[in-house]
Amino acid sequence: MEHHNNKMIVLGLDGATWRLIQPWAESNQLPNFKKLMDNGSWGNLKSTYPPITPPAWTSMTTGKNPAKHGIFGFLKLENEKFRLYQSKDKKEPEIWDYLQNKKSIVINLPVSYPPKKINGIMVSGMYTPSKESNFAHPSEIKDELLDEFPDYRFELSWGEYTGNKTRFLDELYKMTDNRMKLFNHLFDKKEWDLMFYVFIGTDRIQHIYWDQDELLKYYKYIDTFLGEVVEKIERQAEKINLFIVSDHGFNQINKTVDINKLLYAHKFLVLKKDQSLNKKIVFKIGINKSNAIEFIKKMGLLKLYKRLPNKVNDFISKQIPGETNIVTDISKENSRAYSNGFGTVFFTSNDGNDEIINKIQNLKDPENGRNVIKEIHIKRDLFSGRFIDEAPDAVLIPCEGYKLSKNSSDEVISNETFEKADHEIDGILLAYGPDIKCSNFKTASIYDIAPTILHLFGSPIPDDMDGRVLKEIFKETSEHSIRNEKYQESFNIQKLKKQVQMVKKVNNI
């Protein structure tokens, strides 16, 4: 069977959640989301553990868990120093690498800088250093983009706007508007079969303002764009299926839990001896929170989102009181466990860890006597692959309302939160189109997106992908529902590189 008339659009809304979309769609405030939900398939999309942006998007585009693709968080620990993850750290092929006879357009995918040379167009996203950098493939796209949209931006350094809501919202809408215009430009003017297009603004506004009015306003703006996209799709002669996805969900937080402080209190964690007295005192007796917050405001974004050069990062982590840096602060030789944030826990030996898990599990909020940790997942249940040694030994999921941090304060649990809301596991998948049936599926995994897209293109699925084809979302009459999945042995990188070179030669790129 031929599938050459199949096209596909994936719209990524970073951090989008049914918690917000579903009630607003049901009350008709987001009419286009409602139309798609009434006529498409939708449900939760389970993220990676922990549910953070770089590993989650990478699992979505590779169909594999972090121990296979190698992206575990925001920063990579290399030679006892942290640096930002880059596209070269992704050790597995992505959807478009398998679809070599198809044209793909990939825009603003987190951790795609520097852009890979794909058959199509790639414009990098989060972590792109600047507009001067080579952020586009092929390179002439850079000039075309900047000519058409001189104010185009990849990201919003939201910490810069602390205390300046008007400016933040102004820049957020400007960034999103340019991104939407670029979508229309590419849709109309370029040849493509797969469009994978990410909007980061949903995540940024949710972190800072969990304010229902502001959020609804922004989602309405997205909803209007969605309506235009659907209209465009339905005007085309070809069959185009649409997925709307998020890399993780979001929920309100009102307390912070410092796992390192908990480990320290139980003597599982030991600080380095050569640590400055000042900082040690801070860790022991806690920081003056209002001072710390003031300090952080003054420093801008740095602390919350470290997309800065290493030198700056090192500087900051040394300066911020209470920020635990696992390299400079913690004596790994003398500690039994430590956290690198986001609910990760690393053990230093294989013995006696049940005792540590037990203490974490039994952590109660003294204010209400309730448990703080909802789930503890251990390494072998979450990860498998050649980078397993870089994976955390356990990942904690907090109960609703708590954020897990590695920032020490004077108590394990504190009422201070720098952000209003934080990531949670359940993201969204909303599928709509000629092959998609009307249904509410139970749960899909972020690993299922890549195999499902490959199946829609009639392309074989590497047998080491961790996800499956979501056949339950296809119409019974659709050939995708009838056709069996085709699996094949995983591509070897060398073989793949050769194939890419051949396609390039054939297509003269």
Cα separation, 149 vs 144, whole angstroms: 8
328 by DSSP, 3-state: which? coil
Q: Output 55 or 321, the one with its CB closest to Zn ion.
A: 55
- Binding segment for Zn ion among 52-60, 80-88, 142-150, 152-160 (CB under 5 A)? 52-60
- Binding segment for Zn ion among 7-15, 74-82, 116-124, 312-320 (CB under 5 A)? 7-15
Q: Output 15 or 115, the one with its CB closest to Zn ion.
A: 15
Q: Does 14 bind Zn ion (CB under 5 A)?
A: yes
* Binds Zn ion (CB under 5 A): choice among 203, 329, 422, 466: 203
Q: How far is the CB of 66 from Zn ion (least distance, A)?
A: 14
Q: Does 426 bind Zn ion (CB under 5 A)?
A: no
Q: Output 249 or 398, the one with its CB closest to Zn ion.
A: 249
Chain residue at closest Cβ approach to Zn ion: 53
Q: Does 247 bind Zn ion (CB under 5 A)?
A: yes
Q: Output 33 or 250, the one with its CB closest to Zn ion.
A: 250
- Binding segment for Zn ion among 34-42, 48-56, 225-233, 321-329 (CB under 5 A)? 48-56
Tracing tokens 């941090």 back to the chain, one arrives at 405
- Binding segment for Zn ion among 12-20, 226-234, 325-333, 425-433 (CB under 5 A)? 12-20
Q: Output 94 or 203, the one with its CB closest to Zn ion.
A: 203
Q: Does 424 bind Zn ion (CB under 5 A)?
A: no
Q: How far is the CB of 14 from Zn ion (least distance, A)?
A: 4
- Paired strand residues for 378: 394
- Binding segment for Zn ion among 245-253, 345-353, 373-381, 385-393 (CB under 5 A)? 245-253
Q: How far is the CB of 190 from Zn ion (least distance, A)?
A: 26
Cα separation, 63 vs 81, whole angstroms: 29
Cα separation, 242 vs 251, whole angstroms: 26
Q: How far is the CB of 246 from Zn ion (least distance, A)?
A: 7
Cα separation, 215 vs 230, whole angstroms: 22
Query: How many angstroms from the chain centroid is the CA of residue 391?
Result: 17
* CA separation, residue 82 to residues 49, 74, 505 (Å): 20, 9, 38
Q: What DSSP character marks residue 336?
A: S
From the CB of residue 327, how many other CB atoms can be counted at a distance below 10 Å? Answer: 15
Q: Output 247 or 426, the one with its CB closest to Zn ion.
A: 247
From the CB of residue 188, how many other CB atoms can be counted at a distance below 10 Å? Answer: 8
Q: Output 6 or 53, the one with its CB closest to Zn ion.
A: 53
* Binds Zn ion (CB under 5 A): choice among 48, 53, 87, 317: 53
* CA separation, residue 377 to residues 66, 99, 380, 402, 504 (Å): 15, 34, 9, 17, 43
Q: How far is the CB of 248 from Zn ion (least distance, A)?
A: 5
Q: How far is the CB of 424 from Zn ion (least distance, A)?
A: 11
Q: Cα 144–150–153 angle (5° rounding)?
A: 100
Contact criterion met (CB below 8 Å) for 32 and 230: yes
Q: Does 62 bind Zn ion (CB under 5 A)?
A: no
Q: Restricting to residues 262-301, which ones interact with Zn ion according to CB under 5 A? A: none
Q: Output 253 or 330, the one with its CB closest to Zn ion.
A: 253
From the CB of residue 411, how many other CB atoms can be counted at a distance below 10 Å? Answer: 17
Look at strands 426-432 and 41-46 and give their pairing: antiparallel
Q: Output 124 or 409, the one with its CB closest to Zn ion.
A: 124
Cα separation, 193 vs 236, whole angstroms: 13
Angle, helix 212-235 to helix 201-208, in steps of 10 degrees: 170
Q: Output 112 or 459, the one with its CB closest to Zn ion.
A: 112
Amino acid at 167: R
**What sign has the CA pseudo-torsion 105, 111, 113, 118?**
negative
CA atoms within 13 A on the CB side of 394: 24
**By CB under 5 A, how many residues form the interface with Zn ion?**
5
List residues near Zn ion by CB under 5 A. Answer: 14-15, 53, 203, 247
